Chains A and B, each alone.
Chain A
Amino acid sequence: MKNHFGCNIDDPLDYDLVINTDHYSDDAVVQLVLSAVAAKQAESGRVNRT
């Protein structure tokens, strides 16, 4: 990442969602990601319409 993009892989601003998976089950993480995808899709649809 540093070589090709000159960025720090741990910079949270490069992501829409950062999850610490330590205390979540796989299924809980899946639900979080799906909610984020749906929310972003709705938001980008709203922006496109305006």
Chain B
Amino acid sequence: MNETTSFNECCSYVTALMQAKAFPAEEQPAPAITISRQAGARGRTISKKIQRALRDRSPQDPIPWTCFDEDLVEKVLKDHDLPTSLAKFMPDDSVSEIDSTINEILGRHPSLWSLFEHTVETIVHLCHMGHCILVGRGGNKVAEGLSNVTRVRFVGTLPQRIKQMVTFMACPTKRPSITSSAKTMLANAI
């Protein structure tokens, strides 16, 4: 066997190995979860429990599982250098068009569209990082097509959800006004 050919083959093999090490196979992105929930379907409580269970499963994880609920807004504002006072203009449920337009004209907050775009950017960023649980904010729609994201929705029957809301708000069940206010809240919630 020609020594030069053999040497060249060895060189090619070593080069190929080195390249394989330099460019390892693309790693699977870390998983993430989006949670959508009907009001009173215990979404928040369960999200926190999922976070705890996942952290317990892998305590050595370099990126610990984190649940973004109300703090997602804070993260969006921080990511885009916006004042935290804007948080009150970004509720999770529907926003009155008239109120938001007036606030926008008065310069109280940027346009709802730009706030929405900032939120989407932050959600996509978090999903790519993985190990996060995103509650609400249309995360399921933003994460559509991302193979590492599991999109979950919690639902429940109206009577059960009213019961849950009454318990959650620590209201006495005998007072009909409270029960009806819980009912109104549930009807108005997304």
Q: Answer yes or no: B21 CB below 8 A from chain A CBs.
A: no
The answer for the CA separation of A20 and B46 in the assembled complex, in Å, is 13
Within 8 A of B (CB), among A1-50: 1, 3-5, 7, 9-10, 12, 14-22, 26-27, 29-30, 33-34, 36-37, 40-41, 44-45, 47-48
Within 8 A of A (CB), among B91-106: 94
Contact A40 B141 (CB under 8 A): no
Q: Answer whether A44 and B28 are a contact pair too, CB < 8 Å, given A7-B141, A16-B150, A37-B33.
A: yes
> Is the Cβ of A41 less than 8 Å from the Cβ of B31?
yes
Consensus secondary structure, chain B interface = mixed
Given contacts A37-B33, A45-B28, 13 further A-B contacts (CB under 8 A): A3-B94, A9-B190, A10-B155, A14-B140, A14-B141, A14-B153, A17-B152, A20-B156, A21-B46, A27-B49, A29-B46, A30-B53, A48-B28
- A residues with a Cβ closer than 8 A to B are 1, 3-5, 7, 9-10, 12, 14-22, 26-27, 29-30, 33-34, 36-37, 40-41, 44-45, 47-48
Interfacial residues, chain B to chain A (CB-CB below 8 A): 26, 28, 31, 33, 36, 41-42, 45-46, 49-50, 53-54, 94, 116, 138, 140-141, 144, 147-148, 150-157, 160, 190
